[in-house]
A = this chain, B = another copy of it.
Amino acid sequence: MASYIERLNQRIQTCGTPALVGIDPRWDLLPDAIRLGSAGSSGTIHERTANAFEVFAKQIIDVVAPLVPAIKPQVAFFEQLGVPGCRALHSVMAYARKSGLLVIADGKRGDIGTTAEAYADAWLAGEDPEAAAWPADALTVNPYLGSDTLKPFVDCAASRGAGVYVLVRTSNPGASDYQDRETLSQPLYEAVAKTVQSLSFSLRDHQTYGPVGAVVGATWPDQLRALRTLMPNVPLLIPGYGAQGGSSEDSSAAFHANGLGAIVNSSRGINFAWLRKPFKEQFGPDRWLDAVAAATHEMIADLATHTPAGILRQSLPAK
């Protein structure tokens, strides 16, 4: 069985970029063509919105599947539509897998004991998309309940070739409220980071990285640098790039010199690229998918220029 990290790194190297595209559908921001398309369909408002989300996400997937290694659907936006949203999410995840993308479900799940086992079993399909109810390669996980609650996720991930990204330092302003608390010897997020490093180190199986990753926001570059040092064997997922204010330079410390070790996410900046400069003027609403492609290429180039991931481009076969 190929581990999550083997599959992820293969995709990163094949695509020559660590860019991760979030899928964050929002009704208010959908292109008119998709909103109008759903207006004629039947069903409840949730069903019609879910259908529109599904069309929107699959069209983005068609654009980005040849360009980036993975997508990160935000579970909340689908869950908001109830059962039809869950159906759409499942369909989008399966479609992405068939398109060759890895799928990181951003569910931030976490619970104790057998409940954590249930969440792990639900989401961590790993190498075989049929191995779980939701065909995710990896899942974001909340550590607040304690390291014993991470274990069911880690065990399941290891057995199925799946990955886990533990929230260590999130990208929001209030991240400092609890995560930065200085404990007697260290801030809380460092204590969480040490747990994550220890878990990934013990499971790395002759590779640099183990299956237990960490979420560290690009909006906190100093902490990111310190955390990369604290967690040398941990694959990082970097949110906060783009719309949240983090830059490629801010993400740079997440990478090792070989260009591996991290994936950088952009959701709104790509999903709704046609609403911002310069793509708004360049493409307009009808060519929103061209804006998605242009924004993805822009992000890939930005990461290649300003982070060690640039080395990945140099290793790509000439096209």
Q: Residues of A with Cβ closer than 8 Å to B? A: 24, 26, 46, 74, 76-77, 79-83, 85-87, 90, 108-116, 118-119, 121-122, 133-134, 142-149, 167, 170-179, 181-184, 188, 191-192, 195
Contact = CB atoms under 8 A, between A and B. Distances in A.
A173 B146 contact: yes
A149 B167 contact: no
A182 B179 contact: no
Contacts of A191: 177-178, 181
A143 B116 CA distance: 17
B177 A147 contact: yes
Contacts of A181: 181, 183-184, 188, 191
Contacts of A178: 143-144, 146, 188, 191-192
- The oligomer's copy count stands at 2
B90 A83 contact: yes
B146 A175 contact: yes
Contact of A80 (B85, B121, B175, B182): B121
Contact of A119 (B26, B80, B113): B80
A145 B133 contact: no
Contacts of A85: 133
A119 B75 CA distance: 9
A54 to B, nearest CB: 13
A111 B143 CA distance: 13
Contact of A188 (B81, B115, B188): B188
Nearest to A74: B115
Contact of A146 (B113, B133, B145, B179): B179
Contacts of A121: 80
Nearest to A121: B80
A26 B174 CA distance: 37
Contacts of A195: 177
Nearest to A85: B133
Nearest to A239: B112
Given A108-B111, A112-B170, A182-B184, A148 B177 contact: yes
A212 to B, nearest CB: 15
A53 to B, nearest CB: 12
B188 A174 contact: no
A109 B174 CA distance: 16
Contact of A118 (B80, B82, B114, B174): B80
20 contacts: A26-B114, A76-B115, A79-B118, A80-B119, A86-B86, A108-B109, A112-B171, A112-B172, A142-B142, A143-B178, A144-B170, A146-B170, A146-B173, A147-B174, A148-B173, A177-B191, A178-B188, A181-B181, A181-B183, A181-B191
